[in-house]
Structure 1
């Protein structure tokens, strides 16, 4: 089946997660993505366990559907090979520190001279401007500086980072979105452009309602554990066999929730009639609900939540999450044959189209696995 990005060539000079995961999204959609890697393997995720047959499972999660070519960009001959590849490329993705690509003669202005249609996507911790432009920025640092950690964690606990590299993950999405937008713009202008993505900018832009509350009302959100800043009841409750997330998002849902737990008189109670009043009296309301929900199992309550169309779900372990029937029914777990490590399982791209099947053709590449496929092409260019 024809893929939407078929024919788009991407040179991926990035490492770790944010940028590589972004180019992987584009690779899933059919782009030809080639990782340009140092002969010594400078991507630290290759060294992060746990491992499967000696291969990092962290590396595996961000690099499917790509090829790998070894080039030492500090070597003049290898640098020239990259520039030859650049002439026929559509996109460059890189996450070197600000200024490093320019030092190698690979900044946007230099690349633009070789290929005016090139789309040049740079990913850094803080962007190419501002007082922190030259500083390194890893995901936990960004979570801290963006204020995310200050609103995450137990009420009486310390600021807490999210359990996944959320700033990197969100940035990966913006890598894909911005490149797609630039490709579409190129259709109109026949020119490429540079994209400057900052992890801090991305995480700040994703503070959502927390940022809006402060900017428009001066309200500084606090850590609320598993509760919500603006809605109640909207949190984790404990059942007889474990934790359950319950989200009563409107007054109408609260009416149904009260019926579900046999407390219909609460609907007319002035303390609970509206979300604003429920939030004001959240402590006592939550205590009452907790006394009720602890009396049954999670599955018993989930059956009732589904009956009354109230959002709720088990607080799963990772194993439970990946093995739950809904995920199996959606066919979200894939498997691909790796030339060196055997069968590798992965979580599929979540985009499901009516007229497109995403093709998972290439396992995450071994360092330099496809180098020899590209060198003849550069030789042909010289001879031609």
Structure 2
């Protein structure tokens, strides 16, 4: 995250409390590299099966993958020499865009164009706000966002999330409540999508896990095995994949090279 530019994008804006580089809340570079690796493997397999009949070596690094994943932001530097800055939950390109306080929680609103802003104003019950000269275009709203954001906050804070979300959805304004993971897994959409699966674990019994987001029409994914125990498959891999015999495997375990 540090060398790949993510921390140059992530964090509170300069001048605000806590400003400065911040890491994303999960190992983003590791997972991003995994995604790129999967794409590369599938592409290589397709080429082998339909063109060459040969496999190939795929060269991929965590740093390369992370820089590539930030290209939508870093291209502004390569093309125009402009360095992106940290804007917290806001946007450098449009407004209003960011988190706002409702009476009982936070909401994320992401207005991307003038039409959406008009729709937002109607949903908030203040259609006249869309006619104010300082807010009529995206560039003007970005210029005056320090005036606009407090106005929207004061309106939203008067009612609950349950009041505002149906109005914003009906108005087709990009928005969502900001969840913790308890709320994530209680959300009706997550339950409808059956994203949480149950597997049998040898120590924990029935165990909840996050399922694969891919749903195949002809070959549905089956969830038969729990996450493995430490060293559960070590002997199997050394014996069947690497061709080691029992004394060699025992020596590795004795030397603490492997765990079993």
> What band does the TM-score fall into relative to the shorter chain?
0.7 to 0.9
Residue 107 of structure 2 corresponds to which residue in structure 1? 244
Calculate the TM-score normalised by the size of structure 1. 0.58
Query: Are 1:215 and 2:73 counterparts?
Result: no
Query: Are 1:159 and 2:21 counterparts?
Result: yes
Superposed structure 1 runs of 4+ greater than 6 Å apart: none
Q: Which has the higher contact order (CA 8 A, sep 6+)?
A: 1
Aligned partners of 2:93, 2:64: CA distance in 1, in Å? 24
Shift of 1:357: 0.6
Query: Are 1:267 and 2:130 counterparts?
Result: yes
Shift of 1:305: 0.7
Calculate the TM-score normalised by the size of structure 2. 0.85
Residue 220 of structure 2 corresponds to which residue in structure 1? 357
Aligned partners of 1:283, 1:213: CA distance in 2, in Å? 24
In structure 1, list runs of 5 or more residues that go unmatched: 1-142, 380-384
Aligned partners of 2:236, 2:103: CA distance in 1, in Å? 60
Aligned partners of 2:223, 2:211: CA distance in 1, in Å? 9
- Give CA deviations for 1:177-232 in whole Å, capped at 9, x if unaligned: 11111111111111111111111111111113311222222221111111012111
Shift of 1:356: 2.6
Shift of 1:314: 1.1
Q: How does 1:340-355 map to 2 (within 5 A)?
A: 340-355=203-218
RMSD: 2.0
- Give CA deviations for 1:26-82 in whole Å, capped at 9, x if unaligned: xxxxxxxxxxxxxxxxxxxxxxxxxxxxxxxxxxxxxxxxxxxxxxxxxxxxxxxxx
Q: 1:282 aligns with which of 140, 145, 160?
A: 145
Q: Please give the secondary structure, in 1, of the residue aligned with 2:135.
A: coil
Aligned partners of 2:237, 2:26: CA distance in 1, in Å? 35
Residue 178 of structure 1 corresponds to which residue in structure 2? 40
Q: 1:196 aligns with which of 44, 48, 59?
A: 59
The structure carrying a bigger helix percent of its residues is 2
Shift of 1:365: 2.1
Residue 235 of structure 2 corresponds to which residue in structure 1? 371
Shift of 1:285: 0.9
Aligned partners of 1:208, 1:294: CA distance in 2, in Å? 36
Distance change >3 Å, CA 284–CA 368, structure 1 → 2 = same
Query: Are 1:147 and 2:5 counterparts?
Result: yes
Aligned partners of 2:70, 2:113: CA distance in 1, in Å? 22
Query: Are 1:315 and 2:178 counterparts?
Result: yes
Aligned residue pairs total 237
Aligned partners of 1:288, 1:372: CA distance in 2, in Å? 63
Aligned partners of 2:8, 2:240: CA distance in 1, in Å? 53
Aligned partners of 1:347, 1:184: CA distance in 2, in Å? 29
Q: How does 1:2-81 map to 2 (within 5 A)?
A: none
In structure 2, list runs of 5 or more residues that go unmatched: 245-260
Aligned partners of 1:194, 1:266: CA distance in 2, in Å? 58
Distance change >3 Å, CA 374–CA 164, structure 1 → 2 = closer
